């Protein structure tokens, strides 16, 4: 049976989500019929063309119109800015359909969790790269140890050819980037759940001969603090950038006080930094703890998962690595949910997804050790 899916947001990610789902088939039969909705007719006009993609001009602030768009849907997938996700979740609860989103905002996720309490359908927020896939990897690594000591998560979407003082190009939501640079960050330090400031605790590391920096940003842990509290001594998440980025952003946000004028900063960045599809997504997750070695003796060991994913061509169009990874993660989660491999009701955490199931999925395969050059239909 073909599932009816409403994708909200026809921007960088939402349009790719719609494209992936529209091409998905099983035994030659379509798995999804997609309606891609956005308040901008221009955004929809630029969206991919496919016989299984319908478009709808829709403002989610129009509650009756949103309710009508949700009627009869199997699921709604929100690729909207984080500030709009709560009202979509409320409408999904009223409509009785599954809800999935890409938000990194901690406060919004807490409100969605309250909405999901007792719901007859699944509410699965944070289905992207980070939060999202990185939490699935971290939970899988953590489960390998009898006594867990630390989990360190590092993720970044970087231009392949940086060419400005920020060493950065816009590859996804500007609003989302600013939010994660400003809001407090969750962590576990010495076994205690704490909040730490964004852009702090900077570190440097090399990977494949390239030097990077990493620093605290908000939202990337998802619900892992709650899941691993009491089991781990150290848990943290940091965003990867090229060296020098954090210092410039601290000047803009704190010294020039643009933290309090986020719309102005958004306008500055979007008019000064070019977008690019030539990017790389880096996932670098390390866990350490005690488990039995090959001789059955307890040893302090470390396991690491590293992925580097580049932009690629999808159905004739080149998409950035962050578009591909984020959209694929959301589509994989939907696939697994409708296949019964995730809870079918209430709030669902990303770490409830088995890593093997995710990587074995047709969409999740983009994160596999040897990723396909193009995503299969």
Q: What would the pLDDT profile of 22-60 be if each residue is shown by its tens digit?
A: 999 999 899 999 999 999 999 999 988 999 999 999 999
Instruction: Over range 99-123, report the average pLDDT.
Output: 94
Q: Quick one: tokens of 298?
A: 């307890």
Q: What is the pLDDT of residue 191?
A: 96
Task: Give the pLDDT band of residue 369 (cuts 50, 70, 90).
Answer: low
Strand intervals (E) in 31-146: 32-38, 53-57, 75-78, 98-101, 122-124
Strand intervals (E) in the chain: 3-8, 25-26, 29-30, 32-38, 53-57, 75-78, 98-101, 122-124, 147-159, 185-189, 192-196, 203-207, 210-216, 234-241, 279-292, 298-310, 312-314, 317-319, 346-347
* Residue 182 contacts residue 253 (beta carbons within 8 Å): yes
Provide DSSP, 170-201. Answer: B-S-HHHHHHHHHS-EEEEETTEEEEE-TT-S
Q: Which of 72, 118, 64, 125 is nearest to 95 (CA)?
A: 72
Q: What would the pLDDT profile of 198-231 be if each residue is shown by its tens digit?
A: 999 999 999 999 999 999 999 999 899 999 999 9
Distance CA 129, CA 135 (A): 9
**Which domains are present in the chain?**
3-128+318-367 (3.40.50.720), 133-314 (3.30.360.10)
Burial of 115-142, coded b for 16+ CB within 10 Å and e otherwise, reads bbeebebbbbbbbbbbbbbbbbbbbbbb
Going by their DSSP bridges, the two strands 185-189 and 312-314 should be labelled as unpaired
Going by their DSSP bridges, the two strands 3-8 and 32-38 should be labelled as parallel
Distance CA 130, CA 112 (A): 18
Distance CA 377, CA 275 (A): 27
CA neighbours closer than 13 Å in the CB half-sphere of residue 167: 15
pLDDT of residue 11 exceeding 70, the answer is yes
Task: Give the pLDDT band of residue 370 (cuts 50, 70, 90).
Answer: very low
Instruction: Over range 85-108, report the average pLDDT.
Output: 95
Provide DSSP, 224-248. Answer: HHHHHTTT-SEEEEEEEE-TTHHHH
Contacts of 21 (CB under 8 A, 6+ apart): 5, 7, 31, 32, 34, 331, 334
Distance CA 264, CA 189 (A): 35
Q: Quick one: tokens of 364?
A: 């999740």
Residue labelled with tokens 């709650």: 226
Q: Which helix (H) or strand (E) holds 120?
A: none
Task: Give the pLDDT band of residue 173 (cuts 50, 70, 90).
Answer: confident
Instruction: Over range 360-375, report the average pLDDT.
Output: 72
Angle between helices 106-116 and 85-95 (to 10 degrees): 10
Report CA torsion sign: 353, 338, 369, 158. Answer: negative
Q: What is the pLDDT of residue 376?
A: 39
Counting residues of the chain whose pLDDT is more than 70, the rounded percentage is: 98
pLDDT of residue 254 exceeding 70, the answer is yes
pLDDT of residue 111 exceeding 60, the answer is yes
Q: What is the DSSP letter of 370?
A: S
Q: What is the pLDDT of residue 171?
A: 79
Instruction: Over range 343-370, report the average pLDDT.
Output: 93
Average pLDDT of the chain is: 93
């Amino acid at each position: 049976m073909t599932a009816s899916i409403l994708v909200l947001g026809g921007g960088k990610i939402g349009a790719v989500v719609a494209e992936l789902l529209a091409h998905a088939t099983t035994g030659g039969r379509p798995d999804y019929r997609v309606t891609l909705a956005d308040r901008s007719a221009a955004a929809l006009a630029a969206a991919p063309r496919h016989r299984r993609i319908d478009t709808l001009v829709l403002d989610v602030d129009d509650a009756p119109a949103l309710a009508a768009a949700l009627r009869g849907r199997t699921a709604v997938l929100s690729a909207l800015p984080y500030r709009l996700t709560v009202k979509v979740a409320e409408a999904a609860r009223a409509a009785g359909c599954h809800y999935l989103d890409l938000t990194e905002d901690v406060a919004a996720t807490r409100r969605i969790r309250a909405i999901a309490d007792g719901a007859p359908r699944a509410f699965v927020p944070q289905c992207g790269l980070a939060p999202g896939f990185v939490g699935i990897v971290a939970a899988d690594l953590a489960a390998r140890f009898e006594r867990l000591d630390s989990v360190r998560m590092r993720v970044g979407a970087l231009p392949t050819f940086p060419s400005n003082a920020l060493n950065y190009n816009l590859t996804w939501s500007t609003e989302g980037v600013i939010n994660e640079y400003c809001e407090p960050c969750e962590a576990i330090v010495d076994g205690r759940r704490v909040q730490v400031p964004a852009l702090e605790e900077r570190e440097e590391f090399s990977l494949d001969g390239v030097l990077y920096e990493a620093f605290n940003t908000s939202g990337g842990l998802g619900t892992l603090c709650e899941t691993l509290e009491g089991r781990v001594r150290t848990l943290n998440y940091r965003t990867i950038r090229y060296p020098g980025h954090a210092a410039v952003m601290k000047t803009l946000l704190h010294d020039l006080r643009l933290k309090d004028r986020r719309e102005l900063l958004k306008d500055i960045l979007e008019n000064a930094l070019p977008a690019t599809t030539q990017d790389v997504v880096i996932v670098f997750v390390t866990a350490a703890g005690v488990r039995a070695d090959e001789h059955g003796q307890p040893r302090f060991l470390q396991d690491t998962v590293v992925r580097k994913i580049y932009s690629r061509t999808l159905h004739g169009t080149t998409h950035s690595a962050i578009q591909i990874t984020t959209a694929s993660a959301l589509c994989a989660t939907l696939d697994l949910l409708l296949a019964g491999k995730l809870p079918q009701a209430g709030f669902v955490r990303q770490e409830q997804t088995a890593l093997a199931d995710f990587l074995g999925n047709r969409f999740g395969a983009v994160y596999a050790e040897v990723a396909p050059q193009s995503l299969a239909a």
